[in-house]
């Protein structure tokens, strides 16, 4: 009762002298946003110099997603957002156009077992993909797991997890909505039916069959606890044996530690990689010899502050590492020998080594040369053995396959080229198209280029720009820019139906490669993490200023979008430089950086951001944390926050709290009176998995909003 009275009181206070009408573009009008009660909570933080800072959180109560008050808040915000969407004149047309780009046949990169190929396939009229097999490269596709029948609303998906060496036993996951968690199932390929065994819904990092197919090793992550590795005997009931749990060698395995598990292709070894944080500040690799009657865990590398990713051919262990090599190198590992003494096979290069794999007993190495993919081949001794020519500027992966395979697959796409999967014959070096997406998009009508600009501190930063050939540059055209800048993620010019739609309408599209990513190796990453996070934001603002100066667009026509860590980038954009943008879409965002680590898997990211719980980190985090820097009466651009109950990675409390602050600020005296909306999905989440129909709806709402508000 007291909360309801307070809400009414605050509503009157906001409207008094504030904005009575919210104005969108193209004649859209809204009443003031829903009134949200302020129930202040004050926290005290310690700083590095020993002083204390008090911080007030007025919407702490919105952190409780299940409370009746929060559910009522979500319903009110969705109703308010729908009032806006009902007035977007182009929305029906946007849905139709996006459906044409999204609802096309899709095929994933195949996994090879002998002469049989396993892959995911979705037909144009289907909401979800299914798992198929094909005998021979050009054989008939046979549906094994029907993903279209998992739920009535089409928002439950299946995903391929693994297949036995002989192709007889398949592992797949079932995911509800956009959640990270999946339930694990086992499928008898010959009998065309599931086994009775299942693993309950959870976060799994590797589900690996034993060579005799009598059991599986798996790693499961438990929020606020960490990873545990178990052995499950198929047909043996629900009692699983823990292989690696709460500690190793007296060192705790805790909340920030992810354990990946794999069984080597020859079935000899169980390999466990312990990643300390996301991104991992340290990776430990432990190995069991499964041929031993009572195998013991033996460290290949342990306690070294560097990243290690094993590449195994038979009984030979190679490692892709950044140890004394920020651009990465490949070394041959030896048990009982210090990693510093391991023999270098492929040395570090000026271009970052992004991925590597062993196929047909050769290394296939993907490097980024100024963020452009190059795929080169080496013998196991490190001798250059050729390259795979790629079609141009775009994104590619390394060759998939295993050491014993004689063939593999790689994919290539770009902002203006829909995905193509190529089959590669390792004996002849010949590439052939295995599958080409039939998207109704005229690639020849567009151009993609790369430019370089200078950031605030003088750093040279690359950026991709795409648009229709001949599109004018006089500052009057709309431009959409996206970015990320964190977690060692290299942002490539990959195909995206939303960006393709924007280009088709005659807008420019831009992607700057911000510090914090892996485009130039670990040095580039470190320049955008912890106390240097502001470099990421400054790179972003410099990109915007470059595009404005070069007359690609101007502030009122400038749209930006980002999700997850990119959502944090959006939060900084609206609070630090609101003058640069016309509209912002902020998806599944991190926004309250003082408290993010307390929710879901947030603490695993303290190896990237730090934690305000540490006095040494508080000051720099507080300085940029968006939620604490909303200023009443500021002229903010139009904003749509996008999140949902299905996000089990970044807690939706970030978007709920920030929406309330931003709405109050925009309608306060002196505010912008621009729309601030919360688009809250009850099914979607951080991961893929919602239906194509729902995806079209969500994408259309986003694109319709951004296009309308940058008129």
Q: Which residues are catalytic?
A: 564, 686
User: Pick from 537, 525, 694, 632: which is nearest to 156 by CA?
Assistant: 694
User: Pick from 617, 678, 611, 687: which is nearest to 647 by CA?
Assistant: 687
- How many Å apart are CA 189 and CA 134, to the nearest integer? 12
Residue 653: helix, strand or coil by DSSP? helix
Distance, CA of 382 to chain centre: 32
Cα R_g (the chain), whole angstroms = 26
- How many Å apart are CA 707 and CA 579, to the nearest integer? 18
**What Å distances lie between residue 552 and 275, 371, 462, 465, 545, CA to CA?**
42, 22, 16, 10, 10
- How many Å apart are CA 276 and CA 363, to the nearest integer? 27
- How many Å apart are CA 198 and CA 557, to the nearest integer? 51
User: Pick from 704, 694, 698: which is nearest to 502 by CA?
Assistant: 704
Residue 212: other Cβ atoms inside 10 A: 9
What is the residue-wise DSSP string for 149-205?
A: GS-TTS-EEEEEEEE-TTS-EEEEEEEETT-S-EEEEEEETTTTEEEEEEEEEEEEE
Residue 83: helix, strand or coil by DSSP? helix
Q: Which residues contact 207 (CB under 8 A, 6 or more apart)?
A: 161, 162, 171, 184, 199, 216, 217, 218
What is the residue-wise DSSP string for 601-612?
A: TGGGGHHHH--T
Phi-psi region of 273 (alpha: psi -120 to 50; beta: other; left: phi over 0): beta
Q: Are 286 and 335 in contact (CB under 8 A)?
A: no
Q: Are 103 and 125 in contact (CB under 8 A)?
A: yes
- Quote the Cα angle for 359-364-369, to 5°: 165
- How many Å apart are CA 452 and CA 354, to the nearest integer? 21
Residue 350: helix, strand or coil by DSSP? coil
With b meaning 16 or more CB within 10 Å and e meaning fewer, what string describes 525-541? Answer: bebbbeeebbbbbbbbb
Give the tokens for residue 337. Answer: 């020998």
- How many Å apart are CA 671 and CA 663, to the nearest integer? 10
């Amino acid at each position: 009762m007291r909360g309801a009275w307070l809400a009414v009181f605050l509503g009157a206070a906001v409207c008094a002298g504030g904005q009575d009408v919210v104005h969108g573009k193209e004649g859209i009008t809204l009443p003031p946003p829903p009134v949200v009660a302020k129930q202040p909570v004050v926290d005290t933080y310690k700083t590095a110099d020993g002083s204390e800072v008090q911080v007030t959180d007025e919407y702490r109560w919105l952190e409780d997603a299940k409370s009746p008050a929060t559910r009522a808040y979500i319903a009110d915000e969705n109703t308010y957002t729908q009032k806006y969407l009902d007035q977007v004149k182009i929305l029906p047309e946007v849905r139709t156009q996006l459906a044409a780009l999204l609802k096309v046949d899709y095929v994933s990169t195949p996994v090879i077992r002998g002469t049989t190929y396993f892959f995911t396939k979705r037909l144009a009229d289907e909401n979800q993909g299914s798992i198929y097999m094909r005998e021979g490269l050009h054989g008939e596709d046979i549906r094994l797991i029907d993903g279209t029948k998992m739920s009535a609303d089409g928002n439950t998906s299946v995903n391929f997890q693994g297949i036995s060496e002989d192709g007889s036993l398949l592992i797949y996951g079932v995911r509800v909505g956009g959640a990270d968690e999946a339930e694990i199932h086992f499928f008898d390929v010959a009998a065309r039916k599931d086994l009775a065994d299942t693993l309950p819904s959870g976060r799994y990092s590797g589900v690996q069959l034993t060579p005799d197919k009598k059991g599986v090793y798996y790693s499961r992550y438990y929020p606020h606890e960490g990873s545990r590795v178990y052995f499950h005997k198929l047909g043996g009931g629900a009692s699983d044996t823990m292989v690696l749990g709460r500690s190793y060698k007296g060192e705790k395995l805790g909340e920030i530690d992810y354990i990946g598990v794999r069984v080597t292709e020859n079935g000899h070894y169980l390999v466990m990689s312990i990643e300390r944080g996301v991104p991992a500040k340290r990776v430990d690799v432990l190995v069991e010899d499964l041929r031993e009657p009572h195998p013991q865990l033996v460290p290949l590398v342990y306690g070294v502050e560097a990243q290690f990713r094993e590449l195994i051919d038979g009984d030979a262990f190679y490692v892709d590492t950044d140890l004394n090599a920020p651009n990465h190198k490949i070394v041959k590992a030896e048990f009982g020998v210090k990693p510093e003494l391991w023999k270098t096979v492929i040395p570090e290069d000026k271009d970052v080594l992004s991925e590597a794999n062993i196929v047909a007993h050769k290394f296939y190495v993907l490097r980024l040369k100024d963020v452009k993919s190059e795929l080169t081949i080496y013998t196991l001794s490190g001798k250059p053995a050729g390259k795979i020519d790629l079609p141009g500027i775009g994104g590619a992966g390394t060759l998939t396959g295993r050491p014993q395979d004689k063939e593999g697959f790689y994919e290539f796409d770009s902002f203006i080229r829909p995905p193509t999967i190529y089959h590669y014959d390792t004996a002849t070096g010949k590439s052939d198209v295995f599958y080409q997406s039939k998207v109704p998009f005229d690639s020849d009508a567009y151009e993609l280029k790369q430019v370089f600009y200078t950031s605030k501190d003088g750093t040279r930063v690359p950026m991709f720009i795409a648009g229709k050939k001949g599109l004018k540059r006089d500052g009057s055209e709309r431009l959409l820019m996206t970015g990320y800048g964190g977690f060692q993620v290299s942002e490539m010019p990959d195909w995206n139906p939303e960006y393709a739609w924007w280009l088709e309408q005659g807008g420019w599209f831009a992607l700057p490669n911000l510090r914090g990513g892996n485009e130039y190796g670990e040095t580039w990453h470190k320049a955008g993490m912890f106390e240097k996070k502001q470099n990421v934001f400054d790179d972003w603002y410099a990109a915007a200023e470059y595009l404005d100066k070069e007359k690609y667009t101007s502030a009122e026509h400038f749209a930006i979008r980002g999700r997850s860590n990119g959502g944090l980038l959006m939060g900084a954009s609206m609070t630090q430089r609101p003058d640069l943008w016309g509209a912002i879409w902020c998806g599944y965002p991190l926004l309250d950086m003082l408290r993010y680590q307390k929710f879901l898997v947030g603490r695993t990211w303290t190896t990237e951001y730090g934690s305000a719980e540490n006095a040494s980190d508080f000051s720099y985090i507080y300085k940029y944390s968006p939620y604490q820097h909303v200023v009443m009466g500021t002229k903010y651009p139009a904003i749509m926050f996008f999140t949902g109950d299905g996000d089990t990675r970044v807690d939706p409390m970030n978007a709920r709290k920030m929406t309330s602050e931003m709405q109050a600020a925009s309608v306060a005296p002196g505010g912008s009176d621009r729309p601030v909306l919360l688009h809250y999905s009850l099914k979607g989440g951080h991961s893929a998995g919602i239906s194509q129909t729902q995806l079209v709806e969500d994408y259309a709402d986003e694109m319709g909003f951004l296009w309308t508000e940058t008129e």
